[in-house]
């Protein structure tokens, strides 16, 4: 067993998950590949969404992969940072909007 | 101005050192397969040429720019330059063969004092296509170059220009402060006389290469972005965008090693190996010539000092199309750069 939970080298071994369950892995990676193909959204837009989600779920593998991928797709540094701010706004907002719940309760309890 | 690796006496200006790096380490220890090992099972070793269609002549390593990724290690301090006599030998070859394209590169090819003579003579003997790989800023570097767009048009030159991004910051970081603004000005000059404009046959192509240790994205998608952004912001039009992968040679190799990106970059190139791209690698249809008249399988091999194999005749004085078309192409691990993903060549993707 390795000494740390995360090893950058493990990212390259992602496909190895097929070793324990090939059928489901195949379904997942086929689906994954299709998701990121250019569709109604461009491949670059999808990459930026993936980058934002990577920060929301704080997945180091994903941040590593989608930083490179965004650069490859021609995203600018400003676009990439704006994507991270979208994450931050939603995460922050998700906490803050619960403030309404707190206020409701306060108002119910208070005279 | 930044000095070339050669002027700095940097150990990576030595081709033997570079070749050792490309053969030892991760490849020598067997952690990654050599390029030969990768193409052997495809029955592509030895790698053989097809018909030679492009005669790519490097007329000298002098350049007005010192780009950070330059595999030529070009710059103002490089003095290697092709003489008119050597150019004449190239012209004789073009005249006596069916090679379609004369592709002029450098450095900044326009800085060779015999550049214009060379282009005019090539036209006179009826070369079908003349490409000039222009860095754009040369057009504004000195009043003597201001009329280059007119000269190109008069001589029916196809202009291929580097522009790594459609915004200033990424371009300037790679090619030097102010390069983007000057490139835009030069592109405007070229557009103004018809280059890249619809309804003319004056071709202006742009070359994109990544601004770091990552691969180029999809060529068609990047072309669409470049067209939209350049037209929208600067009113600039062009014909095609070619994406080129950075190869681990000279300054880009130095960058990879200094920033500890070398192993990961090579892993990425190997992991992205595309057998279909092997079919289209440019060394199959190109001969690269250096300022001294020696021949190479490509401009990258030229910068690594890997001449075409001896039996093919190594100097243009001994040019023999049959022998060249029968030669074995010289390969090393940098070749992975041309077979990654959709492949890469001086004409963009190949697969």
Give pLDDT tens digits for B265-295.
999 999 999 999 999 999 999 999 999 999 9
Using a CB–CB cut-off of 8 Å, the residues of B that contact A are 165, 167, 169-170, 210-212, 214-218, 221-222, 225, 267, 271
Q: Is residue B183 part of a domain?
A: yes
| Facing B214 at nearest CB: one of A43, A44, A71 | A71
Q: Is residue B7 part of a domain?
A: no
What's chain B's length in residues? 351
**CA atoms B275, B276, B277, B278: torsion sign:** positive
Chain centroid offset of residue A11 CA:
15
Minimal CA separation from B174 to chain A, in Å: 14
Cis peptide before B46, with omega less than 30 degrees from 0?
yes
Taking each helix axis as running N to C, give the angle between helix B84-95 and helix B115-124, from 0 to 180 degrees, rounded to the nearest 10. Answer: 20
pLDDT in tens, A44-85: 999 999 999 999 999 999 999 999 999 999 999 999 999 999
For residue B118, which of B76, B57, B52 has the smallest C-alpha distance? B57
pLDDT in tens, A14-48: 999 999 999 999 999 999 999 999 999 999 999 99
Structure tokens at A9: 């080298």
Q: Is residue B345 part of a domain?
A: no
Count of A-B CB contacts under 8 Å? 33
pLDDT at B316: 98
Residue of A nearest to B272 (CA): A12
A-chain CB neighbours of B218 within 8 Å are 38, 43, 73
Q: Is residue B6 part of a domain?
A: no
Average pLDDT of the residues in B320-347: 97
- Can you say whether residue B240 is alpha, beta or left, with left for phi > 0 and alpha for psi between -120 and 50 degrees? beta
Task: Determine whether the interchain pair B217/A12 forms a contact, defined as Cβ–Cβ distance below 8 Å.
Answer: no
Q: Is residue B8 part of a domain?
A: no
Using the predicted structure, report yes or no on whether residue B1 has a pLDDT greater than 80. Answer: no
Chain centroid offset of residue B284 CA:
15
Using the predicted structure, report yes or no on whether residue A1 has a pLDDT greater than 90. Answer: no
Q: Cα(first)–Cα(last) distance of chain B, in Å?
A: 38
Chain centroid offset of residue A98 CA:
23
Q: Is residue B134 part of a domain?
A: yes
A-chain CB neighbours of B271 within 8 Å are 12
Contact in structure between B146 and B140 (CB atoms under 8 Å): yes
Contact in structure between B270 and B33 (CB atoms under 8 Å): yes
Task: Determine whether the interchain pair A74/B215 forms a contact, defined as Cβ–Cβ distance below 8 Å.
Answer: no
Phi, psi of B318 (to 5 degrees): -105, 25
Q: Is residue B5 part of a domain?
A: no
- What is the signed CA dihedral for A54, A60, A64, A69, rounded to 10 degrees? -20
Name the strands in the sheet holding B286-289, side by side, starting at the edge strand that comes first in the sequence.
B241-243, B204-208, B157-162, B129-134, B101-105, B54-58, B286-289, B295-296
Query: What is the span of the domain harbouring residue B187?
Result: 13-339
Contact in structure between B305 and B233 (CB atoms under 8 Å): no
Q: What percent of chain B has pLDDT over 70?
A: 100
Using a CB–CB cut-off of 8 Å, the residues of A that contact B are 12, 38, 42-44, 68, 71-74, 76-77
Structure tokens at A42: 């461009």
pLDDT at A3: 85
Q: What percent of chain B has pLDDT over 90?
A: 99
Contact in structure between B289 and B58 (CB atoms under 8 Å): yes
The CATH number that applies at residue B265 is 3.20.20
Average pLDDT of the residues in B305-329: 97
Work out the pLDDT band at B243, boundaries 50, 70, 90. very high
Mean pLDDT of chain B, nearest integer: 97
| Facing A72 at nearest CB: one of B217, B225, B271 | B217
The rounded distance, in Å, linking the Cα atoms of B187 and B210 is: 20
- The structural domains of chain A, ordered by start, are 14-90 (1.20.1290.10)
Structure tokens at A100: 């309404």
Contact in structure between B342 and B271 (CB atoms under 8 Å): no
The residue behind tokens 């046959």 is B201
Task: Determine whether the interchain pair A12/B271 forms a contact, defined as Cβ–Cβ distance below 8 Å.
Answer: yes
Q: Is residue B344 part of a domain?
A: no
B-chain CB neighbours of A77 within 8 Å are 169
Other beta carbons less than 10 A from residue A11's beta carbon? 13
pLDDT at A2: 73
- DSSP category for residue B153: H
Contact in structure between B132 and B109 (CB atoms under 8 Å): yes
């Amino acid at each position: 067993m390795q000494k740390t939970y995360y090893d950058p080298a493990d990212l390259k071994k992602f496909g190895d998950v097929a070793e324990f369950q090939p059928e489901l892995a195949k379904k997942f990676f086929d689906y994954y590949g299709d998701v990121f193909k250019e569709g109604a959204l461009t491949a670059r837009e999808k990459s930026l969404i993936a980058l934002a989600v990577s920060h929301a779920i704080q997945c180091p593998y994903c941040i590593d992969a989608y930083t490179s991928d965004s650069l490859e797709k021609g995203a600018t540094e400003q676009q990439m940072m704006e994507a991270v701010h979208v994450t931050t706004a939603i995460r922050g907002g998700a906490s803050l909007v619960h403030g309404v719940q707190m206020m409701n309760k306060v108002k119910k309890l208070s005279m | 101005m930044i000095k070339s690796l050669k002027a700095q006496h940097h150990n990576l200006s030595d081709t033997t050192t570079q070749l050792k790096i490309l053969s030892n380490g991760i490849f020598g220890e067997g952690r990654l397969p050599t390029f030969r090992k990768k193409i052997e099972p495809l029955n592509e070793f030895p790698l053989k040429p097809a018909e030679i269609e492009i005669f790519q002549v490097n007329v000298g390593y002098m350049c007005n720019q010192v780009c950070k990724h330059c595999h030529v290690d070009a710059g103002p301090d490089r003095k290697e330059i092709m003489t008119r006599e050597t150019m004449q030998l190239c012209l004789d070859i073009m005249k006596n063969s069916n090679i379609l394209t004369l592709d002029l590169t450098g450095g900044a090819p326009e800085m060779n004092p015999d550049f214009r003579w060379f282009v005019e003579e090539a036209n006179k003997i009826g070369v079908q296509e003349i490409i000039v790989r222009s860095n754009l800023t040369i057009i504004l570097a000195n009043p003597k170059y201001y009329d280059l767009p007119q000269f190109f048009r008069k001589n029916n030159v196809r202009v291929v220009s580097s522009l790594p991004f459609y915004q200033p910051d990424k371009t300037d970081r790679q090619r030097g402060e102010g390069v983007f603004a000057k490139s835009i000005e030069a592109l405007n000059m070229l557009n103004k006389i018809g280059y890249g404009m619809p309804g003319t046959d004056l071709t202006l192509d742009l070359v994109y290469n990544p601004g770091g240790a990552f691969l180029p994205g999809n060529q068609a998608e990047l072309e669409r972005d470049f067209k939209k952004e350049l037209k929208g912001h600067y009113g600039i039009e062009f014909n095609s965008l070619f994406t080129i992968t950075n190869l681990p040679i000279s300054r880009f190799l130095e960058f990879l090693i200094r920033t500890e990106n070398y192993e990961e970059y090579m892993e990425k190139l190997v992991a992205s190996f595309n057998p279909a791209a092997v079919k289209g690698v440019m060394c199959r249809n190109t001969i690269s010539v250096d300022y001294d008249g020696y021949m190479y399988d490509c401009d990258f091999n030229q910068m690594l000092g890997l001449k075409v194999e001896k039996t093919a005749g190594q100097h243009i004085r001994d040019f023999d199309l049959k022998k060249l078309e029968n030669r074995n192409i010289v390969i090393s691990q940098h070749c992975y750069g041309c077979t990654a993903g959709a492949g890469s060549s001086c004409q963009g993707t190949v697969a």
